[in-house]
Structure 1
Amino acid sequence: MPPPIAPEPAPKADSKDATLSRCDDADIQQTTTREFSIAEAAIYRVYRRRWVGLATLMLMNIMISWGWITFAPVSTSTQTFFRLEKASSVNWLSTVIFLAYICMSPVVIYTLRHLGVRAALLFAAGFSITGVWLRFIGARVGSSNGGHFPVVMVGQILIGFGQPFVLSAPAYYSDLWFTSTQRITANALISLSNPLGAALGQLIDPFLVSRPEDIPNMLLYIAIITTAVTIPVFFVQGKPPTPPCPSSAQEKLPFRSAFPKILSSVEFWLIFIMFSILVGFFNASSSLLNQILEPYGYSENEAGIGGAILIVVGLLASAVVSPIIDRTHTFLLAIRILVPIISICYIGLIFAPTSRSLAPPYIVLAFLGAASFSLLPLSLEFVVEITHPVSPEITSTTLWSGGQLLGAVFILSMTALTDSRTGSMKHALVFQAIISCIASIAALGIGWGRRVEYVQTRRIALDTNEAT
């Protein structure tokens, strides 16, 4: 005999903005989970207010990413303004962001798990606002004598401290507020707003800096916009009154049990290797794009447009791919197609700039962006699926930490491989292409042969079973 179902609780005061769902936006679904006793019933709903938090996370990601990439599109002007002897000093402005991410990762996991997404946003806002204004002060004070580069560096580090709070949040937020047919799209909107910020930086910064003396003004504009963007943070709620579907309501593993589970998973390690390499090279290529193209006669503006193409085309491609994967749940097939395409693009990037015309590098960057951006959110959601009930902030923060660490390593390695006489980065691009092929091998090995049982979509299965 089935357990008795308790009467439906009265709707909350804000239920007018709620959409009742059986695991999407249609009906009410009642069931029991680990968080509900037999005598209780869970009503699954999705709330319109989830879009407020999603939009705020998007805005914060855009501005923090713009803060990260600020100096890369105008690296030559930055070097001249601060009177730096080597271009590698400018590269460190990007590299410290990655290292700061790794330092803050344990704090981010704790904050999301115990304090919620609103607290994470407040931390991100505090660090980023302090960082962007400190950069402006460092450039403005003593600007006639090259400013104060160490102060600017400290500002970059603070921006780096803020980045993981919003970059690690998408998988956590989508699990908390969205259903299984919406999570990849929600994750894509938030996660890909981060490279959108980089695209804005690549495109806008060269136009703001027509000469080295414009660097302080550029930093002022970015500081003002960043400060304004943080206002919606105070309107974000930590979690919904009721879960959107059964997998969201299910109790997650405690931290001590979660880490041994993911570390013993071969599939997690394969995804970790693939994700870390590709995110690392994407970050490195975005930071070094001006230096990659400059030896072949491309201007800062043309390199900036190339970076914008990389990201804008990627966003458009992801806007098409993410909803399809949300409906079909063909995670593994998409990974096995997209990762080799990315490796081929990195091989193409070796030869495209040598044409000294705009079309070849722009075409390669467009395909690279389309494949990379389509891969990013589905990888983050796929690893949550196969490790469920591990909490999403643990897996996403671990993956991003690997990508940020390798981003720093790759920037330093590719800078060291640059020809000191001509400035050519051909050897660095060959290195990038070879290592990216390792990511393809890892991707093709996920769930191979008899290991197919380890790549089951556990959250989707739970939601489907509860809905039938």
Structure 2
Amino acid sequence: MDRENGDKSEIQVYTYRWIILCLFCLCNVINFMQFLQFTIVGNVIQRYYNVELALVDATGLIFFVTFLLFFLPISYLIEKFNLKVTLITSASLTAAGNLVKLFCNEPDRFYLVLIGQALCGTAQVYLLSTPSKLASLWFGAEEVSTACAIGVLGAQLGAALGAVFPPFLVKSNENISEIGEGIRLMALYYFIVSAVVLVLIVFCKYKHVLVGKA
């Protein structure tokens, strides 16, 4: 942009921007599904792990704590690096958190639940800090508000889905092993989805680089 010479520059938009936005929404959905993953079935989780209900509630509270702790340094990193790096980082943290929780289906491994939630909570700091920048950099002036709203919608949709699926997978049962199997399946499904999202993001980034070089 060279305003001193009287030149007017226009933002050039690409169809690829909608792919970026869709990937960002997918990241938001799978990440925010973790927010209520355990608290929505708190009574079952409490009985299975034999922990206080306050600790079960902490699995959701971690998301608020990580945001308060990391929003300033992560905001700096978002400004320092491009959005693709930000998107890959957030997707990687979400997948890593779900990978950790994949091994939490034993009654003495509640600490893995907290570690996994902390990783997912850190990922959501990236996601919450990104929509406005993504919209302003990739979309024209008349599309900024729409793109930003769609980006935020992913988080809301993820939180809603996170309140729906766990009760179907983790059901109250007199047989403790059945509860553990439900937790294992829930963690497995979440990990598969988050891993697929990560692969899609890396693939689209790589493909876009090749197209850019062609």
Q: Same fold (TM over 0.5)?
A: yes
Q: Does 1:69 align with 2:30?
A: no
Change (3 A) 1:44 1:152: closer
Q: CA deviation at 1:39?
A: 6.8
Match of 2:55 in 1: 89
Is 2:180 the partner of 1:219? Answer: no
CA offsets 1:299-344 (integer angstroms, 9 cap, x no match): xxxxxxxxxxxxxxxxxxxxxxxxxxxxxxxxxxxxxxxxxxxxxx
- Structure 1 distance, partners of 2:141, 2:8, is 20
Question: Is the CA contact 1:74–1:209 (under 8 Å) kept in the aligned structure 2?
Answer: yes
CA shift, 1:116, in A, is 1.5
Per-residue displacement from partner, 1:215-239 (whole Å, max 9, x unpaired)? 122111111111111123222479x
SS state at 1:128 partner: helix
Residue 174 of structure 1: aligned partner = 135
Q: Specify the code of the residue in structure 2 equivalent to 1:75.
A: G
Deviation sequence 1:165-202 (CA, Å, 0-9, x none)? 11211001111122232222111111111121111111
Whole-angstrom CA distance in 2 between matches of 1:36 and 1:228: 44
Partners of 1:56 and 1:50 in 2: how far apart?
10
Give the corresponding residue for 2:9. Answer: 42
Query: Tell me, which stretches of 5 or more residues in structure 1 are unaligned?
Result: 1-32, 242-468
Contact between 1:136 and 1:152, CA under 8 Å: does it hold in 2? no
- Superposition deviation, residue 112 in structure 1: 2.0
Question: What is residue 99 of structure 1 aligned with on the other side?
Answer: 65
Give the letter for the 1:91 counterpart: D
Counterpart position of 1:229: 197
Larger Rg: 1
1-side partners of 2:140 and 2:158: how far apart?
A: 27
- Which residue number in structure 2 is paired with residue 78 of structure 1? 45
Q: Structure 1 residue 89: deviation in Å? A: 1.2
Q: d(CA) in 2 for partners of 1:109 and 1:201?
A: 26
Tell me how far apart the structure 1 counterparts of residues 120 and 91 of structure 2 sit (CA, whole Å).
Answer: 9
Alpha-carbon distance in structure 2 between the residues aligned to 1:126 and 1:183: 27
CA distance in 1: counterparts of 2:140 and 2:90, whole angstroms: 26
User: Greater relative contact order: 1 or 2 (C-alpha under 8 angstroms, separation 6 or more)?
Assistant: 2
Shift, 1:156, TM fit: 0.7
Taking the aligned partners of 2:113 and 2:84, their CA distance within structure 1 comes to: 28
Q: CA deviation at 1:48?
A: 0.8
**Counterparts of 2:156 and 2:108 in 1: how far apart (Å)?**
29
For 1:205, give the aligned amino acid: P
Matched, 1:192 2:153: yes
CA distance, structure 2, for counterparts of residue 231 and residue 102 of structure 1: 29
Partner amino acid for 1:223? F
Could you report, residue by residue, the CA deviation over 1:232-275 in whole angstroms, capped at 9, with x for unpaired residues? 3222479xx9xxxxxxxxxxxxxxxxxxxxxxxxxxxxxxxxxx
Q: Which TM-score applies when normalising by structure 2?
A: 0.86
Report % sequence identity. Answer: 25
Please state how far the C-alpha of 1:206 moved relative to its aligned partner. Answer: 0.7
Shift, 1:102, TM fit: 2.0
Q: Gaps (5+ residues) in structure 2?
A: 173-178
- Report whether the alignment pairs 1:209 with 2:170: yes
- Counterpart residue number, 2:101: 135
Q: Provide Cα deviations, 1:360-415, integer angstroms capped at 9, x if missing partner.
A: xxxxxxxxxxxxxxxxxxxxxxxxxxxxxxxxxxxxxxxxxxxxxxxxxxxxxxxx
1:108 to partner: Cα distance = 2.1
Is the CA contact 1:108–1:120 (under 8 Å) kept in the aligned structure 2? no
Q: Is the 8 A contact 1:62 1:193 kept in 2?
A: yes
1:162 and 2:123 correspond: yes
Secondary structure in structure 1 of the residue aligned to 2:140? coil
Alignment of 1:239-250 (within 5 A): none
Residue deviations 1:59-113 (CA, integer Å, cap 9, x gap): 00001101222112211111111111x2111100011111112222123212221
2:13 match: secondary structure: strand
> 1:208-357 maps to which residues of 2 (within 5 A)?
208-211=169-172, 212-213=179-180, 214-234=182-202, 235-236=204-205
Which residue pairs with 2:175 in the alignment?
none
1:299-448 matches, within 5 Å, as none
The secondary structure found in structure 1 opposite 2:33 is helix
